[in-house]
Amino acid sequence: MARFSPQQSRPVHATPFLNHSTTPSDANYDTANPSYIRKYLRTYGLTPPRSESYETQKTRCLAQLALKNTEIDKFQYLSTLRKNNVHLFYRLITDHLRELTPLIYTPVVGEACQRWSEIYQQPEGMYLSWEDRGNLAAVIANWPQPNVEITCITDGSRILGLGDLGINGMGIPIGKLALYTACAGIRPEATLPLTLDLGTSNKTLREDPLYMGSRRDKISAEEEREFLDELMSALTERWPGIVIQFEDFKNPFPALERYRDSYTCFNDDIQGTGAVILGGVINAVKRSGLPCKDHRAVFLGAGSAGVGVAKQIVEFFMREGMSEEEARNCFYLVDTKGLVTADRGDKLADHKVYFARQDNQGQQWKTLEEVIDHVQPTILMGLSTLGGVFTPEILRKMADWNTAPIIFPLSNPSSKSECDYESAVKNTDGRCLFASGSPFPTMSFTNSAGETRTYYPGQGNNMYVFPGIGLGSILSKAVRVTDSMIYASGEALSAALTAEEIERGLLYPDITRIREVSIVVTRKVMRAAQADGVDRETNLRKMSDSDLDNYIKSRMYDPHTEVRSLEREVGHLLSSLGNLSPILNGSPTEEKPNGSKL
Ligand SMILES: NC(=O)C1=CN([C@@H]2O[C@H](COP(=O)(O)OP(=O)(O)OC[C@H]3O[C@@H](n4cnc5c(N)ncnc54)[C@H](O)[C@@H]3O)[C@@H](O)[C@H]2O)C=CC1
Ligand SMILES: CC(=O)C(=O)O
Ligand SMILES: [Mg+2]
């Protein structure tokens, strides 16, 4: 197979070891680089003369972003920024997580995926086709970054709640990995977005002249297994310690079962979602005032996320003293055919069998309304892809039955959310304990007692845990991702709330604190790996928690210190060569971080 290197089409970097870019981003052209760095990199003269402070760069970027009229324009702007100046991109994202995360992740990434083949501009990840089978290792060898630590793989067959988008799903691995970097400091060049082109069941896409994937129907489950077997082995052959995250597969259970004991892998939709909702539910149950045994949970959606979440909460209830049978009996899962029961008459998919009700005495409940009237739940979860299905009437019933109803419409993007925050607050008189998959704005509301206050929605999105699961697995060099590591991530998240956040009624930490929360999640994941004996970095076992936190922090990429560390790196190199003077002859137009001249 011909070897193709995307780098060949770009200016050659003077010093490959200083190439901190994620393919194919050009950090070497950062306008913050002082002139001696530019001279060293031989980029001097290729960017405008002034060496800028971050404040200046940020002002320009935010002004340019404000000029964009649509969310897709903003998404495109940020993608281009990441390509042109990866460190600046991450400086902006980490400083403006609340405002910018929705533009690079849910909800805007949903529209970007729907229109991927229309808005495509540049390579940002790897595409592997069914036709490449037998040669996957050779194609993977083309990835220009030598030290990949983590990959996020999708086959695009269930992108958020938007259905099968084929290779247009690439926005998801790119967006998720951007959050690994922004939220947990995994170096950008150590991430590999990977999209499998295994056909699509989406006829409209197959007939779209702009669609950039194969125009074949989806391959069979058996063919997919054959392909994934080769892929897993090719990935680990090139990068033996790689952490592999599966994302947005239509039926991800078989792959998880097949690979979980032999590779360092996890499924974000089953396990990451399970853990993040566990974190929110632990806090919501505490806040509800009811013991676990008195909760009844109706789940609309019995797919990967629904079952993944329900299983984590069963585990929580058991750790709180219930038997497995008692815990499982608190759950009522609903799919397209109604309440999942053992005698419903259809063949249940394997992953639903565990939750199939046996106590229905032949009776079946076909609709969500029927099920909730029957169960009168304390907890209502939406993982169904059905926007708006938690109607005002259903929400009012939840408020009638409960002092503090737990209502989590978790489907993404926002258009698929089972209800919005405003509706949940208004129809429960402000009493709901709420989290949604995509962000909603805070709101002011006056309840029936005449009290006006600000209400803060929670964002129950796996973005709160997958960065820490990934970083914890990388740093502990875990051979597997165990159930305890997953549970630990959710439990750590629940404990990460500050007193002030609890006071504000939050179920999840403020998103602006996500990097510090990721350190704690990472530590707990590493401790669980150590307890399970799956860590290969065994010298970390001896460290105290605070030393381990410091170690984790020291290993996290910080885009704000990148230019400084580059300066140090080049400074050391040049002083050891003894030829600093000609190169350190800086330009007179340099600007220090505070704006003063150098
Ligand atoms: N908040 C978060 O962090 C996450 C949210 N999700 C969201 O959860 C949703 C579901 O994801 P998966 O479980 O992976 O998908 P899935 O396709 O495995 O499951 C969807 C489930 O919804 C049910 N469903 C669909 N239409 C229905 C209808 N008309 N009536 C009743 N049930 C219906 C299906 O029967 C199935 O059980 C997606 O929108 C996804 O974006 C998924 C992962 C993480
Ligand atoms: C957040 C996520 O993983 C999903 O909606 O699929
Ligand atoms: Mg997902």
Give the pLDDT confidence score for residue 23 in this predicted structure: 39
Domains of the chain: 1-95+565-598 (1.20.1370.30), 127-263 (3.40.50.10380), 271-461 (3.40.50.720), 465-557 (no CATH)
Give the pLDDT confidence score for residue 179 in this predicted structure: 98
Give the pLDDT confidence score for residue 397 in this predicted structure: 98
Output 568 or 136, whichever has higher pLDDT: 136
Q: How far is the centre of ligand 1, averaged over its atoms, from the C-alpha of 132 (Å)?
A: 31
Q: How far is the centre of ligand 1, averaged over its atoms, from the C-alpha of 242 (Å)?
A: 28
Atom 4 (ligand 2) nearest CA? 160
**Helices first, then strands: H and E counts in the chain:** 26, 14
Residue 384 Cβ < 6 Å to ligand 2: no
Catalytic residue among 90, 105, 180, 508: 105
Give the pLDDT confidence score for residue 319 in this predicted structure: 98
Give the pLDDT confidence score for residue 94 in this predicted structure: 97
Question: pLDDT > 70: what percent of the chain?
Answer: 92
Average pLDDT on 101-118 reads 98
Residue 411 Cβ < 6 Å to ligand 2: no
Per-residue pLDDT band at 112 (split at 50, 70, 90): very high
Q: Which amino acid is at 213?
A: G
Q: What angle is formed at CA 50 by the lines to CA 49 and CA 55, rounded to 5 degrees?
A: 150
Residue 462 Cβ < 6 Å to ligand 2: yes
Q: pLDDT digit string (tens) for 248-275?
A: 999 999 999 999 999 999 999 999 999 9
Per-residue pLDDT band at 25 (split at 50, 70, 90): very low
Question: pLDDT > 90: what percent of the chain?
Answer: 87
d(CA 140, CA 242): 13
Cα distances from 222 to residues 218, 255, 382, 402, in angstroms, run 11, 11, 31, 47
Average pLDDT on 172-181 reads 98
Q: How far is the centre of ligand 2, averaged over its atoms, from the C-alpha of 334 (Å)?
A: 19
Nearby residues for ligand 3 (ion, Cβ within 5 Å):
248, 269
Average pLDDT on 308-337 reads 98
With beta carbons less than 8 A apart as the criterion, state whether 45 and 14 touch.
Answer: no
Average pLDDT on 573-588 reads 58
Residue 459 Cβ < 6 Å to ligand 2: no
Is the pLDDT score of 581 beyond 60? no
Give the pLDDT confidence score for residue 11 in this predicted structure: 33
Q: At what angle do helices 86-95 and 71-84 cross, to 10 degrees?
A: 130
Residue 120 is a catalytic residue: no
Query: What's the ipTM?
Result: 0.99
Could you tell which of 176, 245, 248 is best to mutate to test the pocket of ligand 2, judged by most ligand atoms within 8 Å of the CB? 248
Give the pLDDT confidence score for residue 573 in this predicted structure: 77
pTM for the full model?
0.93
d(CA 558, CA 182): 9
Give the pLDDT confidence score for residue 590 in this predicted structure: 63
d(CA 467, CA 518): 7
- Ligand 1 site: residues with CB under 6 angstroms? 158, 160-161, 269, 273, 276, 300-306, 334-336, 383-386, 410-412, 416, 437, 460-462
Catalytic residue among 39, 74, 83, 176: 176
d(CA 405, CA 425): 11
Q: Which of these, 498, 525, 519, 520, lies nearest to 509 by C-alpha position?
A: 498
Q: How far is the centre of ligand 2, averaged over its atoms, from the C-alpha of 145 (Å)?
A: 27
Containing H/E element for 435?
Answer: strand 433-436
Q: pLDDT digit string (tens) for 271-306?
A: 999 999 999 999 999 999 999 999 999 999 999 999
Average pLDDT on 374-384 reads 98
Q: How far is the centre of ligand 2, averaged over its atoms, from the C-alpha of 356 (Å)?
A: 24
Residue 383 Cβ < 6 Å to ligand 2: no
Which residue is listed with tokens 């007692």? 449
Tell me the ligand closest to 383's alpha carbon.
1
Give the pLDDT confidence score for residue 21 in this predicted structure: 42
Per-residue pLDDT band at 10 (split at 50, 70, 90): very low
Mean pLDDT for the chain overall:
92
Could you tell which of 412, 438, 463, 469 is best to mutate to test the pocket of ligand 2, judged by most ligand atoms within 8 Å of the CB? 412
Could you tell which of 256, 269, 281, 461 is best to mutate to test the pocket of ligand 1, judged by most ligand atoms within 8 Å of the CB? 269
d(CA 272, CA 435): 16
Q: pLDDT digit string (tens) for 447-458?
A: 999 999 999 999
Give the pLDDT confidence score for residue 565 in this predicted structure: 75
Could you tell which of 101, 104, 106, 109 is best to mutate to test the pocket of ligand 2, judged by most ligand atoms within 8 Å of the CB? 106
Which atom of ligand 2 is nearest the CA belonging to 437? Answer: 1
Q: How far is the centre of ligand 2, averaged over its atoms, from the C-alpha of 108 (Å)?
A: 13
Atom 38 (ligand 1) nearest CA? 161
Is the pLDDT score of 7 beyond 60? no
Residue 293 is a catalytic residue: no
Average pLDDT on 340-362 reads 97
Give the pLDDT confidence score for residue 243 in this predicted structure: 98
Average pLDDT on 428-445 reads 98
Atom 3 (ligand 2) nearest CA? 269
Residue 277 Cβ < 6 Å to ligand 2: no
Output 590 or 226, whichever has higher pLDDT: 226
With beta carbons less than 8 A apart as the criterion, state whether 171 and 112 touch.
Answer: yes
Give the pLDDT confidence score for residue 345 in this predicted structure: 93
Give the pLDDT confidence score for residue 588 in this predicted structure: 44
Give the pLDDT confidence score for residue 214 in this predicted structure: 97
Q: pLDDT digit string (tens) for 34-53?
A: 999 899 888 899 999 999 99
Which residue is listed with tokens 């962000």? 439
Helix (H), strand (E), coil (C) string for 345-382: CCCCCHHHHCCCECCCCCCCCCCHHHHHHHHCCCEEEE
d(CA 154, CA 377): 34
Tell me the ligand closest to 337's alpha carbon.
1
Q: What secondary structure does DSSP assign to 436-484, as a single string?
A: ESS----EEEE-TTS-EEEE--EE--GGGTHHHHHHHHHHTT-SS--HH
Q: How far is the centre of ligand 1, averaged over its atoms, from the C-alpha of 410 (Å)?
A: 9
Is the pLDDT score of 197 beyond 50? yes
Atom 29 (ligand 1) nearest CA? 336
Is the pLDDT score of 22 beyond 60? no
Residue 248 Cβ < 6 Å to ligand 2: yes
Average pLDDT on 53-66 reads 97
Q: pLDDT digit string (tens) for 472-530?
A: 999 999 999 999 999 999 999 999 999 999 999 999 999 999 999 999 999 999 999 99
